[in-house]
């Protein structure tokens, strides 16, 4: 077979800010692997360090409308 297999893994990341605030965020990453089992094995008991390269807006969600008094 010619080609590269990729697998998307959904992770929950625990983040602590420089001020000590903690929160969780869901992130998806794409791994190159020959099988789902190989991708899962690469992530088993994984520890990670993170460097923030870029932050940009992806969408705006409007919730309701302001109603003008009659």
Q: Model confidence at 1, in pLDDT bands (50, 70, 90)? A: low
| 13-59 residue pLDDT tens | 999 999 999 999 999 999 999 999 999 999 999 988 888 999 999 88
| pLDDT, greater one: 68 or 61 | 61
| pLDDT, greater one: 15 or 70 | 15
The structural domains of the chain, with segments of one domain joined by +, span 6-43
pLDDT at position 55: 93
Q: Is the pLDDT reported for residue 69 higher than 80? A: no
Contacts with 8 (C-beta within 8 Å, 6 or more apart), sequence order? 28, 29, 30, 31
Q: What is the DSSP string of 11-67?
A: EEEEEE-TTS-EEEEEEEEEEE-SSHHHHHHHHTT----------------------
């Amino acid at each position: 077979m010619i080609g590269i297999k990729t697998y998307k893994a959904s992770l929950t990341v625990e983040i602590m800010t420089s001020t000590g605030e903690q929160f969780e965020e869901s992130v998806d990453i794409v791994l190159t692997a020959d099988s789902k089992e190989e991708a899962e094995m690469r992530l088993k008991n994984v520890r990670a360090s993170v460097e923030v390269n870029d932050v940009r807006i992806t969408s705006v969600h409007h919730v309701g409308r302001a109603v003008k008094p009659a």
